[in-house]
Structure 1
Amino acid sequence: MLIYHYDPETGLYRGAGMAEADPMELELARNAVHDPLAAAAHAAYATAYTGAMADFASAPRVTLDQLAQAEQDLDAAIGQAMQIRDAALADATAAAARVQPEHWLIPANATREPPPAFGFDEEAVFQDGTWTVRPASTDDDDPDIEPDEALLAHAVRTDRTRRIARVRWLVDRHRDELALGITTTLTAEDYRGVLQHVQDLRDVPDQAGFPHTINWPQLDESLTTTG
């Protein structure tokens, strides 16, 4: 499940992520599906095994050939019962794996409510349970920053916006694929990597050397060539 993080003090949108399922609830739900099916598989095997042993005990074994045939029939019957049991156990495991969680662990300062669409010169703010969009704030008018430094800071932010725009389509595509219920182009791990990259770009103004020395975050270029 997608969740959306925001700053605990300002409410500014900080990026999207994936919520984790409640492990206890999910385990109980999957066990509720798996255990009855597994028990039925074992019970069916026990019944088949008992029947095979009964047939073996009642089979004629006067000659060595009859004894050998009875043993072959017993092995075949038990082997078939084991195959049926193992297939049923595999089906039980698969059925349990298809159970989807109903409860999720939502961390503090996160919400399931997605922010509205906003441009790169805007910012989304989450306050009182609602997202609002406003023009992006800058530090250009900060009286503690010299005019030349303010221009440099603005230029760096502009570059930062351009870099985000270059990869934002990866995020949009992944969300669309999830909404459509189709196989995603990116793996979950790669998607989290893209989200982290976007967040690292947003955090560029927080770097110690800003705006004079910037350590630009890098994204694996192979991710931008997928699809």
Structure 2
Amino acid sequence: MLYYARTTGGFYDDEVHQSIPADAVKITQDQRAALLIGEAAGRKISSDTKGFPVLVNREPPSDEILIAQARQWRDTEIDSLNWLRERHRDELDAGRTTTLTAAQFGELIDYIQQLRDWPASGGFPKTDARPAAPAWIAEQTR
């Protein structure tokens, strides 16, 4: 027999678990499967007033979490461009022909600055307000 316990938020099988919480309610294998499918699809398993498991929508992340995630993305994006900026500068210092054109390097520097300035913009931390990378950056290889 399968059970769900509100206090632990867990499923129990009396053939596997020797101890089952006192608040556990019986559920079917099909109910458990449907709950797990819903959880995998982004919903949250909670319980109703009688302790039976139900699927609910997850609460959206807090502003603090969204800001932290946006800053992490921004920092990772800047870090991922350092090699490209450094390669161009090294090529100039060595007197070699540069891989990037002067215009591309200017676009790169502008993009990095836009990333740095993004947190002060009105659209931060929305993902659709992220600065757009110049298309040619994706074509560069290390």
TM-score, with structure 1 as normaliser = 0.33
1:36 is aligned to: none
Matches within 5 A, 1:7-86: none
Task: Say whether 1:151 aligns with 2:65.
Answer: yes
- Cα distance between partner residues in 1 of 2:102 and 2:125: 33
Distance 1:226 1:209 in 2: 28
CA contact (8 A) 2:107 2:134 kept: no
Which residue, out of 87, 91, 95, partners 1:177? Answer: 91
Q: Which amino acid aligns with 1:205?
A: P
* Distance in 2 of aligned mates of 1:186 and 1:222: 10
More helix by share: 1
CA distance in 1 between counterparts of 2:135 and 2:68 reads: 26
Q: RMSD in angstroms over aligned alpha carbons? A: 2.1
The equivalent of 1:168 in structure 2 is 82
Q: 1:221 aligns with which of 116, 131, 135?
A: 135
Distance in 1 (CA, whole Å) between partners of 2:88 and 2:103 is: 12
User: Structure 1 residues 207, 168: CA separation in 2 closer, same or farther (over 3 Å shift)?
Assistant: same
Is the contact made by 2:118 and 2:130 (CA closer than 8 Å) also made in structure 1? yes
Q: CA deviation at 1:152?
A: 1.5
Residue 63 of structure 2 aligns to which amino acid in structure 1?
Answer: E
Q: Tell me the amino acid that sits aligned with residue 182 of structure 1.
A: R
1:205 maps to 119
Gaps of 5+ in 2: 1-60
Tell me the matched-pair count. Answer: 81
- 1:187 lines up with 2:101 in the alignment: yes
User: Matched residue of 2:129: which SS?
Assistant: coil
Q: Which has the higher contact order (CA 8 A, sep 6+)?
A: 1
Alignment deviations for residues 204-227 of structure 1 (CA, whole Å, 9 cap, x no partner)? 101113224651122233234246
Q: Is there any run of 5+ residues in structure 1 with no aligned partner, and where?
A: 1-146
Q: CA deviation at 1:156?
A: 0.5
Identity of aligned residues (%): 37
1:197 is displaced (CA, Å) by 0.4
1:92-107 to 2 correspondences below 5 Å: none
